[in-house]
Amino acid sequence: MSRLDLKNGSVEMVHGSGGRAMGQLIEELFARALRNQWLDQGNDQAQFELPPGRVVMATDSHVISPLFFPGGDIGSLAVHGTINDVAMAGARPCYLAAGFILEEGFPLADLARIVESMAAAAREAGVPVVTGDTKVVERGKGDGVFITTTGVGVVPPGLYLSGDRARPGDRILLSGSIGDHGVTILSLREGLGFEADIGSDSQALHGLVAAMVEAVPEIRCLRDPTRGGLGNTLNELARQSGVGMQLVERAIPLREPVRAACEFLGLDPLYVANEGKLIAICPAEQAERLLEVMREHPQGREAAIIGTVVADAQCFVQMETLFGGSRMVDWLNGEQLPRMC
Amino acid sequence: MSRLDLKNGSVEMVHGSGGRAMGQLIEELFARALRNQWLDQGNDQAQFELPPGRVVMATDSHVISPLFFPGGDIGSLAVHGTINDVAMAGARPCYLAAGFILEEGFPLADLARIVESMAAAAREAGVPVVTGDTKVVERGKGDGVFITTTGVGVVPPGLYLSGDRARPGDRILLSGSIGDHGVTILSLREGLGFEADIGSDSQALHGLVAAMVEAVPEIRCLRDPTRGGLGNTLNELARQSGVGMQLVERAIPLREPVRAACEFLGLDPLYVANEGKLIAICPAEQAERLLEVMREHPQGREAAIIGTVVADAQCFVQMETLFGGSRMVDWLNGEQLPRMC
C-alpha cells in the first residue's frame, strides 16, 4: 500500500471504513502530528492518572467557516475553545479528545495543516490530544471538516466557580478587548479586507486562569464570551445568578480597527464572538487585586473592571454609554453571526 | 417568546447563534429530556467527583445514516458506542458529554425523538450526559444531525487492559452473534426488507464487562468490533500485540437471517459492523471460567471461544473454515459499508 498523498490526495469514503485505509490516515496524518504516549497505545480509549480534586469536563463542536483565518484555523480553535471551557471552572485542563467529521473530497493537504496546527496548539498549551475518532461523510453532507473536542481537567482543592454565584456588589472584570475574533471571520467571509488590521484572539486562557484563582480564590465565576459575545454571556450569568448588572461602556476595551469594522458591518461589538477573552466576577474587596494579577499576565494586559453586579429581580444588564446615557444590553435576538466557532 | 414548536418546527440557523433562540432550544428540548444536576447548573462545563483509579476517556463521532433503524437510532447509538469504548478498558463509565451538529431545516420532532432516545439510553445505562454543545450548519452542509459523544470512566484498581497484551496461547472469546447492526442498516438503506427479521444489536456492554473483569481480572484486552467488524478488529489486535490468530469459523455465532442477508448482499459477515458485541482475549487457563461468566450474563448468552492467539511475526489472522479448509482473514480493504455508526 503506497503512502498517503498528502500533497494532492483527498479524503475518500474508504477513509471512514474502519479498515486499512482508515488505519493509514490515522497513522500517517493524525498520529504522526499529534504523537504522544496515549495515542501510541493504539487503543479506542486513553488511560491516564488525574491529580486529586473535582474533575471538570467540557465539549465543543467546531464548525467555523472559513476553516483558516488570520490568527488561527479550526484546528487551533478546537484546542483553545475546549481548553477555555474547562479552565473557566478554575480548573487545570489535562487531556483532550478529538472527533473529526470529514467530507469526502476534502484536500488531505488542508487536513494535514489543520491537524498540525491542532498539535502545535496542544503542545503550546501543554494539554495533549490523547484519543480521537474519524468519520467520513459523502460530498455535500458535510463542509470540509468539523471537529468536536472534549477536555477533562481538575479543579484545585478549595475552589468552586459557577455562573450562579454572582452577588450584588460584586465587580465584573474583562481580560481584554472584545470583538476581534468575530469581526475577523466576518470580514474574511465577506471579502472586506479588514482582516489586514485585525485577527482572531483565539488563545488558550488556562495560564491566565491559574494565576487568577491562585491569587484570588474568592472569584465567583469565570466565563469566556464566545458565541453571542460579551452582551449575551453577561445576560446568561445574570439570569443564572438571579442578579442584574450595571456596565460602563468606556471601560470596555475595544480596538479601533474592530470598532471601525463593526460600524461598517452594522454590528454591535457587544454581541461579536471572542475566542481568547474571559469575564471574571469577584467580590468588590478582591477586584483591584484581581485586576492587578490579570494585568501582570500577558493575556490580561488590557484587563479592566467593566461593571458591577446589582440587585435586580428582572436580571437586566444595563450600561452607561459613552455619552453618559443608559441602555439595556439585552439577550442577543436573532442570528447575528452564524458559524463563528 | 413563544415555545418551540416541537411538532412542526425545524432547526434554524438562529438556534446556533448563542443567543436567546439557542437558549430556548437547549432548555426546551435538550435539558428537558436529559435533565440532571449537572446540566441544571447551566455552566459551559460539568464538575464531578470520580472514584479513585486510572481514568479512561473515549470519544466517538456518530454520522450513521439513516438516523432511525430497528433496534435504535443515532441517539441511543451515540450513548452505547461511547460507553462501550470506555468499558473496553475494563472501566466503569461514569459521565458523558455530547456535541450536536444540526443541519438547518432538520425537523425538531425528529431531534426531540433522538434526544429522548439518548436520554433513555443514558438512564438505562446509569451514565448521565452532563455537558453538551449545539452547533447549526446551513442546509446542505450537514446531514440532519451528527452527534459526538465523549465518555469518562474509571478502571478498578489492579486492572490493565490493552490491545497490545495478547500472547501466544491466549484464547479469543466473542460475546455473541456478528453482523446484526451492519446488515440491519444496509438492508434499511437499500429498502430490502430484511430488517423485518433482524435488528441492530446496539447496547451498552459495561454491565457485562464489569462481571467479566471481576471474575477474571487476568483478561488481556477487550475490544468491540464496530466499523470493520470482527475481522478487521482482530487484525488490529494482532498487529498491536505482534501475534497471529487462529480462528474456528463454526464457533463464531451468526444468526441465520443475518447470514442469509449477507449472502444476498454479497457481504462477508466477518467485516460487518456490530454495536453490542465484544471480543475478549485472556490466558488459556481462565478461558472456560470467563466463558461461563459471560454466558451467565444476558448480554453474553451466546458467548463462545472462537480461537487462539498464536506466535506469528507477520501477525496474520487465519481461520479454519466450516468445510475444514483454512483462509486468511485479512484487513478490510476498500469501503464495505460507509456511515454505519
Taking only Cα atoms into account, the Rg of chain A, rounded to an integer number of angstroms, comes to 21
Whether A13-155 shares its CATH topology with A171-328 is answered no
* pLDDT, mean of residues A43-52: 94
Residue B207: which of B294, B137, B142 has the closest Cα?
B294
* Gap between the terminal Cα atoms of chain B: 37
pLDDT in tens, chain B (341 residues): 689 999 999 999 999 988 889 999 999 999 999 999 999 989 999 999 999 899 999 999 999 999 999 999 999 999 999 999 999 999 999 999 999 999 999 999 999 999 999 999 999 999 999 999 999 999 999 999 999 999 999 999 999 999 999 999 999 999 999 999 999 999 999 888 877 789 999 999 999 999 999 999 999 999 999 999 999 999 999 999 999 999 999 999 999 999 999 999 899 999 999 999 999 999 999 999 999 999 999 999 999 999 999 999 999 999 999 999 999 999 988 766 789 99
* Contact list, B61 vs chain A (CB under 8 Å): 99-101, 133-135, 148
Q: What's the pLDDT score for residue A256?
A: 96
A196 vs B212, residue with greater confidence: B212
What residues 82-121 of chain B have any CB closer than 8 A to a CB of chain A? 85-86, 88-89, 91, 95, 97-101
The answer to whether B148 contacts A148, with C-beta atoms less than 8 Å apart, is yes
Our CA angle for B181, B186, B192, nearest 5°, is 120
**What is the distance, to the nearest Å, from the Cα of residue A23 to the centroid of all Cα atoms in its chain?**
30
Question: Which runs of consecutive H residues, i.e. helices, occur in chain A?
Answer: 20-25, 32-34, 37-40, 74-87, 108-125, 180-190, 206-215, 229-241, 256-265, 284-296
Q: Which residue of B has its CA nearest to A228?
A: B18
C-alpha cell at B264: 444476498
ipTM above 0.85, yes or no: yes
Phi, psi of B176 (to 5 degrees): 175, -165
> Per CATH, which fold does A13-155 belong to?
60s Ribosomal Protein L30; Chain: A; (3.30.1330)
Q: In what order do the strands lie in the sheet with B279-282?
A: B221-223, B279-282, B171-174, B304-310, B244-248, B317-320, B326-328
**DSSP 8-state secondary structure symbol assigned to residue B164:** T
A104-117 tens-digit pLDDT: 999 999 999 999 99
Q: What's the pLDDT score for residue B333?
A: 80
Q: DSSP 3-state assignment of A319?
A: strand
**DSSP 8-state secondary structure symbol assigned to residue A2:** P
C-alpha cell at B204: 451498552
Name the maximum alpha-carbon separation found in chain B.
70
Domain boundaries, chain A: 13-155, 171-328
Residue with cell 487568577: A212
Cβ–Cβ contact B51 with A under 8 A: no
Give the integer Cα–Cα distance in Å for B254 and B250.
9
**Alpha-carbon distance values, B227 to A14, A15, A134, B12, B66 (Å):** 11, 11, 11, 32, 16
Give the integer Cα–Cα distance in Å for B55 and B94.
10
* Contact list, A21 vs chain B (CB under 8 Å): 333-335
What residues 144-163 of chain A have any CB closer than 8 A to a CB of chain B? 146, 148, 150, 152, 155, 162-163
Residues A244 and A309: beta-carbon distance below 8 Å: yes
Q: Residue B97 is nearest to which of A47, A57, A91, comparing CB atoms?
A: A57
Helix axes A108-125, A74-87, angle to 10 degrees: 30
Q: Give the gap in angstroms from C-alpha B262 to the nearest C-alpha of chain A.
A: 18
Q: Residue A58 is nearest to which of B13, B44, B146, comparing CB atoms?
A: B44
* Contact list, B134 vs chain A (CB under 8 Å): 61
> Per CATH, which fold does B171-328 belong to?
Phosphoribosyl-aminoimidazole Synthetase; Chain A, domain 2 (3.90.650)
Q: Which residue of A has its CA nearest to B40?
A: A240
Categorize the per-residue pLDDT at A335 as very low, low, confident or very high, splitting at 50, 70 and 90. low
C-alpha cell at A75: 484546528
**pLDDT above 80 (res A334):** no
